Amino acid sequence: MASRTPLVSDVRSFATGDDKNDKDGGNAAESSELKGVVVHVPNPLSWMRNKWFSYLIRFTVDPAFSLDEFLTGAKQALSFLTRMIIQKDFEMLAAVASAEVVETVRNLVAPWTVEQQHSIEVLVEDITFINASIAAINKGKDSSNVLVDVLCIAVKRYKSKPLLVQMTVRFQRKYDKNTESDWFISNINEFVVREMNAAKNSDQQPK
């Protein structure tokens, strides 16, 4: 499968006022109050799809695969991604992302203001919804590549503004009998930051 060019798009700042109380978890209490704003109602079809997704990976390439462990690692990787973008630490970003993704992000954030950088930070505890689906399992003679698309939605505050952060990211892992490898971000399909109105959006349900 040909690789697609990573894309990070539509990242906007909605900040106003002094941000000194928002750094290093200054608004943790306010952020936790937003957790009920985005409500996800479990979909039986999604549950069945995730069961099949886990079974398919275990049956074809990785008998030890756990969807829960994968999603926990994906949350940590996406939170790490946003922190490295803020710090513009692209060498560290390369620990979880492909060289192509790192270069795309580097070029994108170069002109950003400090406000734009900090508005995208996502902590693991900010994530209210995450789901995964198989994009492809490419089996070769000596190795296999698994591509998984992850949808992540987070709710946070920045400068007293409630923000919704939505990311659609592709993770990839190469299974090779001779070498150890781990999951990494091979593509960023969507990265959107929107200001949200808690009352207006209280009934929205991500699908």
Tell me the per-residue pLDDT of 116-174, one tens digit each, with 9 for 90 and over: 778 889 999 999 999 898 888 898 888 899 999 999 999 988 888 888 999 999 999 99
Question: If pLDDT is split at 50, 70 and 90, which confidence band does 204 have?
Answer: very low
The sign of the CA dihedral 109, 78, 126, 154 is: positive
164 in Cβ contact with 196 (< 8 Å): yes
Residue 7 is given by DSSP the state -
Per-residue pLDDT reduced to its tens digit, 76-86? 999 999 999 88
Q: How many CB atoms lie within 10 A of CB 53?
A: 19
- CA dist 198 and 188 (Å) reads 27
Q: What is the residue-averaged pLDDT of the chain?
A: 77
Instruction: In whole angstroms, give the CA distance from residue 118 to residue 85.
Output: 9
Select the more confidently predicted residue: 163 or 5. 163
Domains of the chain, by residue range, sit at 43-201
Helix axes 44-60, 67-87, angle to 10 degrees: 90
Q: What is residue 142's DSSP assignment?
A: S
Q: What is the CATH number of domain 43-201?
A: 3.10.450
Q: Are 6 and 188 in contact (CB under 8 A)?
A: yes
